[in-house]
């Protein structure tokens, strides 16, 4: 079997670390990770570089014969509120991705997996009742209410353009809210951050009244899905990647309580750039590959045990 070279952009991030850990189990795959961090895994070729520097990225393409690029880099989060943040978002995410697409065209790299954002690209239709219509399939309207969502959507459009004109094959994955092992952010990801705070004896921070509904996907499910789609050579598709189930923050906290026991909560004002409710319709995903989401209680238990282990290592 021919050896495949997979370049992972953002391979030191949450999804990236989990994906790379699984990719290196394939003997016929060489994994190259490009980004700001460094790794300690002997089976991975780490290339340090800034995604904003086209030259650093081009060096990767001249050094390795890449088969597939997995693009997981996102330098902003949905909460960035002002116009300045928007223009930064465009420069650091959109412009850089166009540079990536140009390099893929130049070096004839044919396959791209892009992590889009299931939580933000649909947004809110002012004319629809958000209490009723918040489960979205891939062909639904796109009215993002955050710059993060608009930029993700715009990147999707440029990928389509490059696919149309230059034959790049894409998998655009609109991923919901992932949680689970190998999560190191202290600010993003309700479940992971809450578990860290509980173990540290700190309060849990909640924005809004706990009614915000999200689709949480266990990270191992998310990685399984990506590998499965790659294995089956499914291309030129936009696919929702989520559990297909909605949980309010209050419901998630109840699940966490079952696993950890009690904790205290600090409530903060809701963030207006957050969509009130969003669940992904995963009918399309399940028509392409077999997928049954891990029960959220089981996922949270696993994540809790990993977090406890991790804290022991640090202290």
Q: Which of 8, 150, 193, 239 lies at the binding interface for its own copies (CB under 8 A)?
A: 150
Q: Which of 21, 154, 250, 286 binds its own copies (CB under 8 A)?
A: 154
Q: How far is the CB of 141 from its own copies (least distance, A)?
A: 8
By CB atoms closer than 10 A (0-12, 13-18, 19+), residue 96 is: buried
Q: Which of residues 257-276 bind its own copies (CB under 8 A)?
A: 272-273
Of positions 2, 27, 42, 165, contacts its own copies by CB under 8 A: 165
Nearer residue to its own copies within complex by CB, 85 or 263: 85
In 3-state terms, what secondary structure has residue 308? helix
Residue 179 makes contact with its own copies by CB under 8 A:
no
- For 137, which DSSP code? -
Sign of the CA dihedral running 78, 21, 228, 231: positive
Residues paired with residue 5 on neighbouring β-strands, in sequence order:
30
Q: Which stretch binds its own copies (CB under 8 A): 71-79, 90-98, 249-257, 289-297?
A: 90-98
37-56: which residues touch its own copies (CB under 8 A)? Answer: none
Smallest distance from the beta carbon of 90 to its own copies, in angstroms?
A: 6
Our finding on whether 216 is near its own copies (CB under 8 A) is: no
Nearer to its own copies among residue 99 and residue 250 (C-beta): 99
Instruction: Please say whether the beta carbons of 150 and 144 come within 8 A.
Output: yes
Q: What is the DSSP string of 80-111?
A: --SHHHHHHHIIIIIIHHHHHHHHHHHTT--E
Helical H segments across the chain, by residue range = 14-23, 54-63, 83-89, 96-106, 147-166, 190-199, 219-231, 249-260, 283-288, 296-314
Among the listed residues 23, 72, 115, 145, the single contact to its own copies using CB under 8 A: 145
Tell me the C-alpha distance between 31 and 8, whole Å. 7
What is the SS3 assignment for 280? strand
Q: Does 108 bind its own copies (CB under 8 A)?
A: no
Q: Do residues 92 and 76 touch, judged by C-beta distance below 8 A?
A: yes
164 binds its own copies (CB under 8 A): yes
Q: Which is nearer to its own copies, 152 or 183 (CB)?
A: 152
Please provide the size of the chain in residues.
315
Given a contact cutoff of 8 angstroms between Cβ atoms, the answer to whether 137 and 281 are in contact is: yes
Member of 36, 38, 128, 161 binding its own copies (CB under 8 A): 161
Q: How many residues bind its own copies (CB under 8 A)?
A: 35
Interface residue with its own copies, options 20, 115, 153, 223 (CB under 8 A): 153
Residue choice 56, 79, 90, 234 for contact with its own copies (CB under 8 A): 90
Interface with its own copies includes 248 (CB under 8 A)? Answer: no
Under the criterion CB under 8 A, does residue 126 sit at the interface with its own copies?
yes
Task: Give the full edge-to-edge strand order of the sheet including 44-48.
Answer: 44-48, 29-35, 4-9, 68-71, 111-117, 169-175, 237-241
**Scanning the structure block, which residue is given the tokens 């079997």?**
1
Q: For the CB of residue 271, give the shortest distance to its own copies in the complex, in Å.
A: 11
Among 52, 99, 270, 286, binds its own copies (CB under 8 A): 99
With CB under 8 A as the contact rule, the residue among 3, 62, 65, 95 that binds its own copies is 95
List interacting residues with its own copies (CB under 8 A).
82-83, 86-87, 90, 94-95, 98-99, 101-102, 105, 124, 126, 139, 141-147, 150, 153-154, 157-158, 160-161, 163-165, 236, 272-273
């Amino acid at each position: 079997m021919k050896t495949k070279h997979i370049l992972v952009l953002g391979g030191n991030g949450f999804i990236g670390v989990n994906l790379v850990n699984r990719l290196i189990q394939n003997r016929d795959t060489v994994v190259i990770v490009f980004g700001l961090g460094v790794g300690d895994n002997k089976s991975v070729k780490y290339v340090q570089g800034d995604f904003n520097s086209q030259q650093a990225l081009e060096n990767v393409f001249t050094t390795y014969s890449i088969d597939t690029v997995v693009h997981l880099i996102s330098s902003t989060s949905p909460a960035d509120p002002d116009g300045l943040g928007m223009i930064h978002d465009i420069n650091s995410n959109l412009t850089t991705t166009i540079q990536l697409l140009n390099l893929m065209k130049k070096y004839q790299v044919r396959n791209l997996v892009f992590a889009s954002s299931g939580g933000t690209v649909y947004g809110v239709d002012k004319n629809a009742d958000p209490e009723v219509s918040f489960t979205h399939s891939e062909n639904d309207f796109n009215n993002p209410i955050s710059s993060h969502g608009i930029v993700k959507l715009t990147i999707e459009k440029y990928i389509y353009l490059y696919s149309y004109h230059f034959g790049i094959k894409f998998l655009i994955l609109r991923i919901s809210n992932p949680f689970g092992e190998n999560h190191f952010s202290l600010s993003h990801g309700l479940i992971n951050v809450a578990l860290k705070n509980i173990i540290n004896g700190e309060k849990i921070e909640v924005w809004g009244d706990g009614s915000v509904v999200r689709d949480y996907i266990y990270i191992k499910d998310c990685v399984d899905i990506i590998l499965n789609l790659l294995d089956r050579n499914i291309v030129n598709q936009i696919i929702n990647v989520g559990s297909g189930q909605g949980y309010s923050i209050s419901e998630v906290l109840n699940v966490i309580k079952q696993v950890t026991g009690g904790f205290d909560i600090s409530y903060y004002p809701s963030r207006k750039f957050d969509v009130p409710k969003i669940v992904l319709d995963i009918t399309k995903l399940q028509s392409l590959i077999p997928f049954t989401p891990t029960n959220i209680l089981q996922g949270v238990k696993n994540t809790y045990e990993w977090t406890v282990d991790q804290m022991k290592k640090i202290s």
